[in-house]
Structure 1
Amino acid sequence: MTVPEFIPFKAEAPQPLLRAIPAGAPYPVAALGPLQGAVQAVRGIALAPVAIPAQSALAVASLGVQGFANVETLGGPRALSLYCLTIAASGERKSACFGPLLDAVRDHEREAAVAQRDDMQSWQNAHALWKGERDRILSEAKKGKGEKRTAAQADLAALGGEPAAPPSPDRVVTEPTFEGLTRLYATGQPSLGIFSDEGGQFLGGHAMNSDNRQKTLTALNDLWQGNPIRRTRAGDGAYTLYGRRLAVHLMAQPGVAHAFMADPLAADSGFLARFLICEPPSAIGTRLHRLMTPDSGALGAFGNRLREILDTPMPMDADTRELQPRILPLSDGARSLLIEFHDTIETLQAPGGDLAHITGTASKAAEQAARIAGVLTLWQDLQAAEVLPQDMANAITLAQFYLSEAARLAEAATVSVEIERAEKLRKWLLESWGEPEIAQAEVVQSGPYALRDVKAAKPALALLEQCGWIVRLNKGTVVRGSARKDAWRIKRGVGNVV
């Protein structure tokens, strides 16, 4: 048996594959203004990071008010739709934060569903009468010519169009396809929300697979902008839906979220830049039951206000259900604050600037601030005449926080698949593989599932070698009874913690 060549290890520790992401700034919960009380109440009950209920409250408020107005921005009127992405690991009590803030929406949907069943019965009767009369007119027309056909045309015109079925009461969906979302807009409410405390199911689901990703991103980009939905498909024909709005809040685990953030299509299409993203520090280990605080009524007030908004008829065309929102202007003071914020962010995007690496997100920061300000304004008063300076100041504080989070998390979004695989292999070698050496064939046979292929294992091993976690053995070295073409000695005991 050939004795493996002795290769002295370097004294210095191996290089980390993944640099730790620096901690972010505390969430500016006071800037939530009228939403602050409910957010603090949920945090007191769930003891979760405050950013989780904060994101939830903003998204729910956006869902409530987005159908009533477009807010003035420096680039013209824009929708009040907000897209939120919250990154949190399993066990961070995402559902416990989301549920209480969505209760009023669920109650509204339930009650509307009961009313719809009654309306559906009336519609079925009306539709049966309409269809019977139409069939009679057409039958009479087939029997005659000339005057009878002319009379039939007049009768059809007098009969009118087919009665429309009562719209679906649903306001929230979890993981829709583009086709499903379009159908719901065509037959249901013009203002919807995609809300999920398991956002990975949407980001990794059918709507976002390789065949559908492009059209889904394009459709959601259009909805954020307030653009119409255009649908063309054999069998369904072509149609356009105007005046639809969408709010989004996805909560996803770090691995799923970072992969989404690293997707070139999500970045290049501008989809990622439309999100308010945050990854709060974990609260696991600090959630002592004795620290819980009961709700003093703030959640009830939030639910009551949300019900008031949901029960208020949205301005829309009665036939097409196209929203016809008014324009919510900025006060002079609010506009001055927004201009100052815009110009500050613009200078930081110059080459070498602090935001030069996230220009897509930074370029939308002023618009995001205006949208948030509009949401806070209408949450307090649907008939508000303008956005006041205090609401704009709060919105700018929030927009600055989200911008700082985007800058902080940008490095995590650039982690390649190869680095992620190499990190999985590194942990497996140190924690699960008990031998001092490893051969490429052994990785393919027994390693992490994602690396059980030479094309995946080879670059991961090369990266670990480059960073000093393994040291290559001479070709032909016998390891576990076989001469190995590719084998390495594992470096243990020195800097094994990243």
Structure 2
Amino acid sequence: MNIKSSWDTTPDMFKESQKHKCSSEGTSIDASEQIIEALEDKTAPLFNNNLLHGAMVNMMGGCPPEIRRSVIDNATQHGEADDNALYGLAVFDLYSENLCPIGAVFTNPIVNGFKDIVFGQGGLYFNRSKLEQLPLLVTDDIHLAFKTAYPIYAPYSDSKINVYTLKALMKAHPDLCVIAPLHQQDDIQRRYTDLDVKMAFIPEPPNLAMPQDELDNMIQVEISKANVAEWGKIIPLENTTTSKATLYPIQALPPLLQDAAQAIAEYVQAPIAMTAQCVIGAISHIAQSHVNAPHQFNTLGEPCSLFLLTEGQSGSRKSTSKGLADKAIMEHEREAYEQYKGAMQQWKAQQAGLPKADREAFLAENLPPTDPSTMFSDGTLEAIAGLLIDGTLRNASISSDEAGQFFGGHTMKGDTRTQALGSYTKLFDDGSIQRTRSKSNLNGSGRAYDVRLTFNLQGQHEVLSDALKDDVLREQGFLPRFILTVPENLAGTRLQCAEFEQKNANLDYRLIAYWERCRMLLDPCPMVLVDGQKVDQRRVIHLSDEACKINLAFYNDCEIEQAKGGKYEHIQPFASRASQLARRLATVFAFFQGESEISAQTMQGACDIIRHSLGEWLRYAEIESKKESDAQRLLNWLVKKCIDQCTDKIQYSTMQTSCPRPMSKNKQLLEATAQQLEDTNHIRIDALIKKRLVELNPILLGKVSKRLNDT
């Protein structure tokens, strides 16, 4: 810090300061060009109960004796009869909003009750030599002004920095921040509510015991937060070469399901892909109890159960969509559960009061009622497997709008994951499950055949992303059995009006018809039995001749595209199951419509939906395997450069000559790439005089570089 000594003749005030009068006594200043700076650099030890006077004590008087005597003719008028009091006078400058000196204050730190003599007007301005390294702080707190090593502007008197002054200061210095103790935050924000100014609020006001380094570190942390907030939220760099999401083929659903999905989308304001998956999940749950899909080598067919997965951000209306789609099922489950509770109470009452021998005979002849619940939101494999093996359950669904509970649960972690995946895929393929326990727990062992499980999972991208790219989940065949959709995000477009609020989904004929059809199919025997078919036996719905041709063409198309260079080369496990999933989906559609065989239209619709699912899986594969984009390469280079140079900004010319190819050799490409990074709040480019600086968003550095000069 540059400190002017008492013999330094460089003027630190305006040349005509003698024109300014004392605010109380009318005394004029003489020989103003010799007034020295009175307060610089030694801010740490200058803190006492009388801040201004205490500061002057350490400045050895402030200015030469001849200046003092020429300024004040008689010190008695300021509370002291001794003329020697003049020799204790000290002086410091007052600055305008443009950071130019326009006045001075004379004080005597030795004399108690000495009334400061003020010439001109303005505020205090300290540590100016650090202004090129650090932001200018503006504060009302005079304690803070004396204590910190930051360049700082504060009012001399008890008044506050007004809006006009702050506007002028913002023009004088672009890197400016208002600083204040946290308890003043509301007042400061209200005062400057119309100004686009950075604000930082330290947790506590500075005090006598607080070291300067502690205060400066506190200020640094809060300024860093203000800088990050000022930048705005970082927008992830998009993969512009990855294929865009295709529209969900809603027309592929049977008419009644199509109407229901569209009605739910209208009332809930959710993506049509999400509501379509919800209704498919509902009818898969119902259909798996009654029908099987056709199988080329098994006359009894295979399960028609479906595994469905939908990605949706928080607030995308997943829960509400699923609730409307599952309404008939949930009402049916609720009625069955009420009957179960009544039966259980009756069963307990019948054995109450019986002697031990009679109770044992009663229990042997009268098994307890079983819980009829079939739809679970957080059921573990262990629990569901036990119900299936015990015979309590034959058809179940794991249906949840919190897929994170499933993928992040105990079953899907650690040593249990491999076994669980094997059990789930076995349930999907042939409807069987096996569990082997130790000899000490043989009651838990057993097998179950001809049982069914549907998955209908919905979750956020942050939860699903890692799971959908998990090699084990992919290669072991678990994920390839899922029908996936990743709908568009409608947030920001779901506006409502008074007319919309008057609509009632429960009165919509499309949903009423859908729910009534679901209730009909929930009957224990919703279909006419064919020759030899038992009530609890599933019927195979076969393909019509035309449907067979469509299925064969779809199979061959998916197979060809798995070859090297084909569309599905990198998602072979998914494409190889496409035909199987299409037949299962077509079976569910045919059951819902009451078809005796799968029609060509039904089969084609199922193929269209599975083709959409393959496109969604393909997008994930592309994101995973795509080479680093130019924007990401440039950003990585900038981050490394800034870290190596311990800074958060570099010259644009340096980036232009040293950044990775091909951008360093292509001016237009570099401009476009830099613009992409600026538009997504990763960097900003500021023009200073004739130079351009590229500044990196502080959050990208992990933590903001320490900018205070430690020397």
**TM-score with structure 2 length normalisation?**
0.52
Q: Does 1:385 align with 2:596?
A: yes
Task: Give 1:19's match in structure 2, choosing from 226, 231, 239.
Answer: 239
Amino acid of the structure 2 residue aligned with 1:360: P
- Identical counterparts, % of pairs: 31
Task: Give 1:248's match in structure 2, choosing from 413, 433, 455.
Answer: 455
1:263: how far off? Answer: 1.1
Larger radius of gyration: 2
Distance 2:313 2:269 in 1: 15
Aligned residues of 2:427 and 2:433 also touching (Cα < 8 A): yes
What is the root-mean-square deviation of aligned Cα atoms in Å? 3.4
Distance 2:447 2:468 in 1: 30
Aligned residues of 1:329 and 1:386 also touching (Cα < 8 A): yes
Q: Does 1:67 align with 2:292?
A: no
Match in the other structure for 1:41? 263
Task: Give 1:310's match in structure 2, choosing from 510, 522, 526.
Answer: 522
What CA deviation, in whole Å up to 9, does each residue of 1:305-331 have, x standing for no partner?
A: 11222232489xxxxx99632222111
Which runs of structure 2 are paired with 1:336-355 in the superposition (5 Å)? 336-355=549-568
What CA deviation, in whole Å up to 9, does each residue of 1:271-311 have, x standing for no partner?
A: 00000011111111111214957543111111111122223
Distance 1:308 1:74 in 2: 30
Aligned residues of 1:74 and 1:367 also touching (Cα < 8 A): no
1:100: how far off? Answer: 0.8
SS of the residue corresponding to residue 493 of structure 2 reads coil
Distance 1:333 1:478 in 2: 70
Structure with greater helix percent: 1
SS of the residue corresponding to residue 253 of structure 2 reads helix
SS of the residue corresponding to residue 165 of structure 1 reads coil
Distance 1:187 1:220 in 2: 18
SS of the residue corresponding to residue 289 of structure 1 reads coil
1:88: how far off? Answer: 0.9
Task: Give 1:372's match in structure 2, choosing from 563, 585, 595.
Answer: 585
Over 3 Å counting, the alpha-carbon distance change for 1:294 and 1:247 in structure 2 is: same
Match in the other structure for 1:119? 343
What CA deviation, in whole Å up to 9, does each residue of 1:49-93 have, x standing for no partner?
A: 101110000011000111111111445422111111101111111
Distance 1:265 1:72 in 2: 29
Match in the other structure for 1:150? none
Which runs of structure 2 are paired with 1:286-435 in the superposition (5 Å)? 286-290=493-497, 292=500, 295=505, 296-313=508-525, 324-381=537-594, 384-412=595-623
Structure 2, unpaired ranges of 5+:
1-132, 134-235, 528-533, 649-658, 661-672, 683-711
Determine which structure has greater relative contact order: mean sequence separation of CA pairs < 8 Å that are 6+ residues apart, divided by chain length: 1
Q: For structure 1, which segment, 321-330 or 295-304, has the greater mean C-alpha deviation from structure 2 after superposition? A: 321-330
1:167: how far off? Answer: 2.2
Match in the other structure for 1:178? 381
Aligned residues of 2:248 and 2:612 also touching (Cα < 8 A): yes
Over 3 Å counting, the alpha-carbon distance change for 1:30 and 1:18 in structure 2 is: closer
Over 3 Å counting, the alpha-carbon distance change for 1:90 and 1:187 in structure 2 is: same
Aligned residues of 1:465 and 1:471 also touching (Cα < 8 A): no
Match in the other structure for 2:420? 216
Match in the other structure for 1:31? 252
Amino acid of the structure 1 residue aligned with 2:517: R
Distance 2:602 2:526 in 1: 23
1:117: how far off? Answer: 2.0
Aligned residues of 2:434 and 2:446 also touching (Cα < 8 A): yes
Aligned residues of 2:520 and 2:526 also touching (Cα < 8 A): no
SS of the residue corresponding to residue 470 of structure 1 reads helix
Distance 1:415 1:178 in 2: 35
Distance 2:355 2:393 in 1: 25
Which runs of structure 2 are paired with 1:129-278 in the superposition (5 Å)? 132=357, 163-185=366-388, 186=390, 188-234=392-438, 235=441, 236-278=443-485
Aligned residues of 1:259 and 1:413 also touching (Cα < 8 A): no
Match in the other structure for 1:471? 641
Distance 1:368 1:469 in 2: 46
Aligned residues of 2:351 and 2:359 also touching (Cα < 8 A): no
Alignment coverage as a number of residue pairs: 401
What CA deviation, in whole Å up to 9, does each residue of 1:331-354 have, x standing for no partner?
A: 111111111111111111111111
Aligned residues of 1:130 and 1:162 also touching (Cα < 8 A): no
Over 3 Å counting, the alpha-carbon distance change for 1:378 and 1:125 in structure 2 is: same
Over 3 Å counting, the alpha-carbon distance change for 1:283 and 1:465 in structure 2 is: closer
1:112: how far off? Answer: 0.4
**TM-score with structure 1 length normalisation?**
0.72
SS of the residue corresponding to residue 404 of structure 1 reads helix
What CA deviation, in whole Å up to 9, does each residue of 1:94-148 have, x standing for no partner?
A: 1121111111111111110111123224444677889835968xxxxxxxxxxxx
1:228: how far off? Answer: 1.2
Over 3 Å counting, the alpha-carbon distance change for 1:261 and 1:135 in structure 2 is: closer
Over 3 Å counting, the alpha-carbon distance change for 1:311 and 1:227 in structure 2 is: closer
Amino acid of the structure 1 residue aligned with 2:449: Y
Structure 1, unpaired ranges of 5+:
5-15, 137-158, 316-320, 427-462, 481-489
Match in the other structure for 1:281? 488
Over 3 Å counting, the alpha-carbon distance change for 1:257 and 1:323 in structure 2 is: farther
